[in-house]
Amino acid sequence: MVSDVHSNREALEAVFHEIDAQGISQIWCLGDVVGYGPDPEFCADLIRARCMKTVRGNHDEALFAGAEHFNPFARDAIKFTKRRLQPRAEATQNDRERWEWLRTLPQTFRHAALLFVHGSPRDPVNEYVYPDDPDLLHGRKLAQLFDSVDLAAFCGHTHVPCVIRSDSTVFTPADSDNHFVLDPKFRHLVNVGSVGQPRDRDPRASWVELDGDTLVFHRTEYPFAITQAKIRREDMLDEILAARLSQGI
């Protein structure tokens, strides 16, 4: 599972290289294919070609629904992305298909006892669930979050990898040597972190492998200096979007 690629070609290529090297056969994407980064066409085309399923992220949705509620640099990045992706008169067939694919991404999908969303099970595109959310200790939010979940829901959106269990226990990858076993006695919300803009102070791309009932949290190094240089060449992409990539914030 990959999520929050955010138009970061170098991170996506490095992750897919590692996925291929490990012989992983199915890739699922949890949204925010675009936004923030400099390579929306490349990332959307590669995700569309390689992923079994992709759900809609809030940045993907903002291309069509508007980005008025975003902060200024996220909003400008949506403007930049829309200018690059929205088909003009001279657009190719692939340009049009890419735009239509982004417009029609589903909010959720299910596979056996697994649910896939961008944000949360109760608000699949927009809700943030952070591992240190104090409301998680209160039963109501927890119950609502897990209401539609069988064994596990997978999400992204916060760019912070973790597992939140239905008994309100929270696990970070470091707690368990990057491995976690799904326990049928509980329900789980698994955040796979971000490929293209990690925010847990580790700049390496984050993704999660599911092997039977075992999750493996992976980190993949990539040449972020190349992505930063591309961002700095674009007037509409704020410096903060480049600077944060080397710090993982």
| Footprint of Zn ion (CB under 5 A) | 4, 32
Least Å from the CB of residue 181 to Zn ion: 27
Least Å from the CB of residue 58 to Zn ion: 7
- The smaller minimum CB distance to Zn ion, of residues 62 and 215, is found at 62
Least Å from the CB of residue 196 to Zn ion: 8
Least Å from the CB of residue 4 to Zn ion: 4
Q: Is 198 helix (H, G, I), strand (E, B) or coil?
A: coil
- The smaller minimum CB distance to Zn ion, of residues 64 and 143, is found at 64
- The smaller minimum CB distance to Zn ion, of residues 10 and 32, is found at 32
Output b/e per residue, 218-233; b: 16+ Cβ within 10 A: bbbebebeebbebbee
Question: Residue 111: how many CB atoms within 10 A of its CB?
Answer: 12
According to DSSP, the β-strands at 214-220 and 205-211 are antiparallel
According to DSSP, the β-strands at 53-54 and 109-111 are unpaired
- The smaller minimum CB distance to Zn ion, of residues 2 and 142, is found at 2
DSSP track, 94-117: HHHHHHHHHHT--S-EEETTEEE-
Instruction: Report the residue number whose CB is nearest to Zn ion.
Output: 32
Quote the CA–CA distance of 91 and 82 in Å, as a whole number.
Answer: 14
- The smaller minimum CB distance to Zn ion, of residues 42 and 128, is found at 128
Least Å from the CB of residue 224 to Zn ion: 16
* CA dist 219 → 45, 104, 208 (Å): 23, 30, 9
